[in-house]
Amino acid sequence: MDWERQSGWMLFTRVWATGNDGQGVGGGVAARTSVGGVGFTDDMVITHWDPPRECTVKHLGTLVRGTGTFAVRPAPGGSTFVWSEDVIPPFGRLGRIAWPLVRPGFELMMRISFKRLTKELAR
């Protein structure tokens, strides 16, 4: 898994391997997301590893908690990349209330990032 390449297409985010070179169950990954110098680091540990098909990480931080899965599935003429997240909002009830306000910006950031990924994969 080339975690660092994600930095090239994910907006405002730098990603790198930490423990065990980001490989295998127990391997570590970190992602620093920031805008204008203000941001947070999302530390993760790999909990499921089935290359090249699937990888699941557990988010360990105080801002981002939950799990994320990256999967490549066979599809006619190629493959499909599926990224799913089961994230627990930070700040308890306040986070759940604020999510509808934050969600549009988050979704826009993800749409732009995935367009950038699509362009990179088309090369």
Structural domains in the chain (count):
1
Q: Residue 112: is its pLDDT beyond 90?
A: yes
Host domain of residue 7? 3-122
Q: What is the SS3 assignment for 19?
A: helix
Q: What phi and psi values does residue 99 have, to the nearest 5 degrees?
A: -55, -45
Residue 38 has what pLDDT? Answer: 94
The predicted model scores a pTM of 0.90
**21-28 contacts, C-beta under 8 A, 24 or more apart:** 22/46, 23/49, 24/49, 25/49
For residue 58, which amino acid is it? Answer: K
23 contacts 49 by C-beta, under 8 angstroms: yes
What mean pLDDT do residues 75-103 have? Answer: 92
pLDDT band at 13 (very low <50, low <70, confident <90, very high): very high
Q: How far is CA 34 from the centre of its chain?
A: 14
Cα(101)–Cα(79) distance, integer angstroms: 34
What mean pLDDT do residues 19-25 have? Answer: 97
pLDDT in tens, 37-88: 899 999 999 999 999 999 999 999 888 899 999 999 999 999 999 999 998 8
Residue 89 has what pLDDT? Answer: 85
Compute CA distances 75 → 35, 61, 72, whole Å. 36, 34, 9
Q: What is the CATH number for 47?
A: 3.30.530.20
Residue 84 has what pLDDT? Answer: 96
The share of the chain scoring above pLDDT 70, in percent, equals: 100
Cα(47)–Cα(79) distance, integer angstroms: 23
